[in-house]
Amino acid sequence: MRGSYLLVMELKNDEVISVGKLGEINFNKGYYVYTGSALNGLDQRIQRHLRKHKKTHWHIDYFLKQTNIIDAFYKENKTREECIIARKFEKELISVPDFGCSDCTCKSHLFYGSYKEIMNTIDNLEMKQYMINAKS
């Protein structure tokens, strides 16, 4: 299965997190959504993000050490749609500059907002809910 995915996460406390080459970033406690794509194994990519113990490779790996994934969504497609999805979140939420977008021209692939704002935006994306409890 190929496509794009979203991770909805909760950060329980304000944190300063070292994010690879981005350095230390101040994160406010609350809700975040990350958009990514996996054109060679969507299920495997989401499962990797759900694991607590893994090699730190992407920006999101650093962030996930401090957060809990509370929901995930996916959309099957053969082309990368993560940047299209990121632009929709950018209109509604606060961007974390340069996060997760070193291979594109987006401002960010990680966004901060209220749970309601995040879910309202997701509702308009025609994505399916990924059953994280059944998989993890």
pLDDT band at 103 (very low <50, low <70, confident <90, very high): confident
* Domain edges within the chain: 3-135
* Whole-number Cα distances in Å, 132 to 30, 51, 126: 20, 11, 18
pLDDT band at 52 (very low <50, low <70, confident <90, very high): confident
Q: In terms of pTM, does the model score above 0.85?
A: yes
Is the pLDDT reported for residue 32 higher than 70? yes
The residue among 47, 124, 49, 120 whose CA lies nearest residue 85 is: 124
Q: Do 64 and 33 touch, CB atoms closer than 8 A? A: no
